[in-house]
Structure 1
Amino acid sequence: MPRNTLTPDQIIRAATDLLDEEGLDGLNMRSLGNRLGSAATAIYWHIKTKDELVRLAGDAIWDEVTLPDLSATGWRTAAADMATGMHAMLTRHPWYGQAAGSYLLYGAGKSRFDDHSLALYEQAGFTGAEADQAAATVFVFVLGSALGPASEVSLTRRLNRSGADARQVLADTMERAAEAAAPFPHLRKRLGTTGYGDAPGGSFAFGLQSILDGFEARLAGR
């Protein structure tokens, strides 16, 4: 595809698809050009570096999170909806958590989400820095909750590329981890119901509701 027929939006959509399939290590201008049916030089005409490409793709995915109407929705329901939507988005794009630790990510998409989040907690009754702290608390919890599944996707890709049987390697590792945990009674009991390193079912919902319970109690105590 000639450079004058490519658009930045086309490039960003193709880059996002490539990142979803191959992760950060699989994104390069040549692979992206092959996906677009274009020379890498045509991409450079619009986007100069991989860092800029990751930033733009990392910002575009925030538009997938639906922002609730704060005039028609209570703050707690709105907060739960935004957090759940963010978690689902990060699960669809497991590379974002890795990118957040190694790239400078910003843009209109994330700013839109952050602005709505601040408005939500101000509506709840938090003022000044507290609204920012409340928004940051939920943001960090959701991001952290999505890192486990994202790490597994990244590790599986790396093992597969090395020629190893990723499923068998992970199963063997979990078996050794369970053996190491066996002398510890609380872990040993837990291993009877879930795999080592696996969060119990419903952990995300439990954690989110606990945070919002704390917010509600804090506001009610004023």
Structure 2
Amino acid sequence: MTSKQFTSVWLREPRKATSPGRSRAEIVKAAIELLDEEGRDGLSMRKLGAKLSAGATSLYWYVANKDELLELAYDEIWGEMRLPDHEEVGWREAASVLAYSMRHTMLRHPWTADLIGRLPALGPNALQMSDQMRKMFEKAGFTGLDVDFANAALTAYVFGMTIPEIAWNTSASGQEYDADKMREAVAKAAAQFPDLLARMDMQRYEDPQTLRAMAFDFGLVSMLDGLERRLAT
């Protein structure tokens, strides 16, 4: 059985522009605009070529395939995330700001949810963020593998809370559910679970974004409390 060869756009030097006014940076910028408008399935070399008034074939000078283009676009998104100087604000405040920044960045670019775990994050922006996070948790007092585990706990929390939110937003795109009918449907579905139904505030379904933001804040504070407790013990 032959193993699949690992490839990445970051494993080779970028090719120089072949014509004035066109560069890899310009292509990536246009790709992100197209991804934001139409999602991952809406991105194609043909559509990107049309957006840039260039033939799709000419784009292959810069990227070997669509996956390489997605790698480049994905790394740009990591560059949008904010991690303040933990030396100035402390590790917990820095981690909190980063978590909110990651969530908001993903919500601005919902197609990123399809790439997490599927494409390698080997670009300069992603690696720089990873290095800064490592230093942040080391400064907090974590040592050895706990540095990596704390890092993974923070990112997994953000991904775990945000990806389902993106999935819901995407599936409900362009649709507005009738609040009264939704309340009726939930009440009917939970009719055999009166204790659970009593815990539900049906008015919250009229403002799900606020409820999600509150849930994210609650979970983030609890997760950071847990990390801080590990340091204390």
Q: Sort the TM-score into its range (normalised by shorter chain).
A: 0.7 to 0.9
Q: How does 1:199-214 map to 2 (within 5 A)?
A: 199-214=211-226
- Aligned-partner Cα distance in 2 for 1:56–1:33: 16
Q: Deviations over 1:89-147 (max 9, x none)?
A: 11111111112254344321111111111111110011010111111001000111211
1:119 aligns with 2:135: yes
Is the Cα contact below 8 Å between 1:62 and 1:109 reproduced in 2?
A: yes
Could you tell me how far 1:169 is from its partner in structure 2? 9.8
Q: 2:197 aligns with which of 188, 192, 204?
A: 188
Per the TM alignment, residue 155 of structure 1 is displaced from its structure 2 partner at its CA by 2.0
- The root-mean-square deviation of aligned C-alpha atoms, in Å, is 2.6
Between 44-53 and 176-185, the greater mean CA deviation after superposition: 176-185
The CA distance in 1 between the partners of 2:95 and 2:119, in whole Å, is 27
What code does the residue aligned with 2:116 have? A
Q: Does 1:94 align with 2:110?
A: yes
Q: 1:176 to 1:34 in 2, by over 3 A?
A: farther
2:88 is paired with a residue whose SS is: coil
Tell me the alpha carbon deviations over residues 59-80 of structure 1, each in whole angstroms, 9 at most, x when there is no partner. 1111111221232221111111
SS of the aligned residue for 1:202 comes to helix
The count of corresponding residues between Structure 1 and Structure 2 is: 212
CA contact (8 A) 1:3 1:43 kept: no
Conservation of the 8 A alpha-carbon contact between 2:183 and 2:202? no
Mean Cα displacement is larger for which, 98-107 or 71-80?
98-107
TM-score, normalised on structure 2?
0.81
Q: Give matches, 1:1-222, under 5 Å.
A: 3-5=18-20, 6-156=22-172, 166-167=175-176, 176=185, 178-189=187-198, 190-195=200-205, 199-221=211-233
- Give the direction of change, closer, same or farther, for the CA distance of 1:174–1:136 in structure 2 (3 Å limit): farther
**Are the counterparts in 1 of residues 30 and 52 from structure 2 also a CA contact under 8 Å?**
yes
Distance (Å, rounded) in 2 between the aligned partners of 1:177 and 1:103: 37
Unaligned runs of 5+ in 1: 161-165
Post-superposition shift, 1:154?
2.9
The one-letter code matched in structure 2 to 1:118 is R
Q: Distance in 1 between matches of 2:40 and 2:96?
A: 29
Q: Distance in 1 between matches of 2:201 and 2:32?
A: 37
Amino acid at match of 2:217: A
Same amino acid, percent of matched pairs: 37
Contact 1:194 1:200 in 2 (8 A): no
Residue 86 of structure 1 deviates from its aligned partner by: 1.2
In 2, Cα distance between the equivalents of 1:195 and 1:143? 23
Structure 2 gap segments, 5+ residues each: 1-16
Q: TM (normalized to structure 1)?
A: 0.84
